[in-house]
Amino acid sequence: MREVILRNEKIDRKRLELEIKNWLSSLTVQPRKVLLLPPDFTRFHSKAGLIVQLLYKALSPQTEVEIMPALGTHVAMSPEQREAMFGPEIPDQCYLVHDWRNEVVRIGEVPADFVSEASGGLVSYPIGVEINRRLLDKSYDLIISVGQVVPHEVVGMANYSKNIFVGCGGVDIINKSHFLGAAYGMERMMGRDNTPVRKVFDYAEEHFLKEIPLQYILTVTTTQGTETTINGLFMGRNRRIFEEAVKESQKQNLDLLDKPLTKVVVYLEPGEFKSTWLGNKAIYRTRMAIADDGELLILAPGLKQFGEDQTIDVLIRKYGYVGSKRVLELVEKEEDLKNNLSAAAHLIHGSSEGRFKITYAPGHLSKEEIEQVNFAYLSLDEALAKYNPDQLKDGFNTLDNGEEIFYISNPALGLWALKENFQ
């Protein structure tokens, strides 16, 4: 199929539909069966939902279309979330659910010496490459991975082959890639392409995915209020489309500041963020901008659990967000954490390393639960009374009492950092 690279544009629905139709027309034969791999509801602003609608419209009924959201470790989408994201026209029987623990097949291994070289010697284990068994089903003539390129705490820039190896991956590659990123340090990776984790995914893509009829549709988006705009569209298989998307995301999704922020308030939309596993994006995406001894307040009306997965939820409650040094010590001696390295990585990512205060104002977790995992607690009612999202604008705000804060309405949309971090 031909490549499409559109940068620095505002692509509306009509243009998007035309580009998808023209791209599909470059197929030499009409596919009989297609598998679509979009993100789940936690990536609502990716515009992947609209792309899936347009693909389904263009392909069916001549082609059998199945859709398997790339959940990774996340909870499966509800019927209400599917309809909100992908529209009401797609029948329920088209949807499949990825099970990262039980429905994967091992297709290879990234050698330990490669991982060691990529990480500068910080990590030296082999990584088993597991993907959902459906990706090996030869009845699919075409598999299309859809998603948004945006700064990401584990890999540097989200999507492309990450959607396969994590979104549709299994325990070993999810756990070990997450821990590799945490050991290397998120500040060294966020917003960048050639990170150790990305190198591992590139190795796996090059060595183990060549026989799969896989294509990518990548977006770069920006959101103002309730309006999300596609600023870049990239379609094809070659890594070049990802590299072009990275350049566009760096342009559109990095908010680079001149000086550190003393007080940051982040709002987590309740339909999207129900766990700290997801909600801690408020930490990941701001920690490069927050001053020493500053504070991050997270307004989380939908927060009701720590992990998306029950096993990981138990581990978070048991060990808490205690900083990288302590977590690395625990990994060495605690078997349950050693066997769940993605949880260990998450605990590292979710700490400020004692540099600034993290306060959660949760909708459904108690003060005791929040403090148990090493966060400070503020009641949601008290927090909303003082920091009303309806009265705040993204960026700097001065409250009636004179307090100055920096407000972020959705941390998933970008990365906030000091300019010096990217010079």
What pLDDT is attached to residue 378?
Answer: 98
What per-residue confidence (pLDDT) applies to 296?
98
pLDDT digits (tens, 9 = 90+) for 257-267: 999 999 999 99
Rounded Cα–Cα distance for residues 175 and 336 (Å): 12
What pLDDT is recorded for position 216?
98
Cis peptide before 270 (omega within 30 of 0): no
- Quick one: pLDDT at residue 75? 85
Q: Closest Cα partner for 278 from 349, 329, 225?
A: 349
Output the pLDDT for position 74.
85
Look up residue 420 and give its two tokens: 């010096």
Which regions in the chain score pLDDT beneath 50?
none
**Helical H runs in 60-212?**
79-86, 112-118, 162-165, 171-184, 196-208
3 state DSSP class of 47: coil
pTM for the whole structure? 0.90
Predicted confidence at residue 5, as pLDDT, reads 97
> What's residue 28's pLDDT?
82
pLDDT of residue 225: 77
Phi, psi of 114 (to 5 degrees): -70, -45
CA distance 330 to 317: 14
**pLDDT digit string, tens, across residues 23-40:** 999 988 889 999 999 999
Identity of the residue numbered 392: L
Q: Domains plus CATH for the chain?
A: 4-254 (3.40.50.11440), 258-422 (3.90.226.30)
Long-range CB contacts (within 8 A, 24+) of 311-316: 311/340, 311/343, 312/73, 312/277, 312/340, 312/342, 312/343, 312/346, 313/275, 315/340, 315/343, 315/347, 316/276, 316/277, 316/343, 316/346, 316/347, 316/373
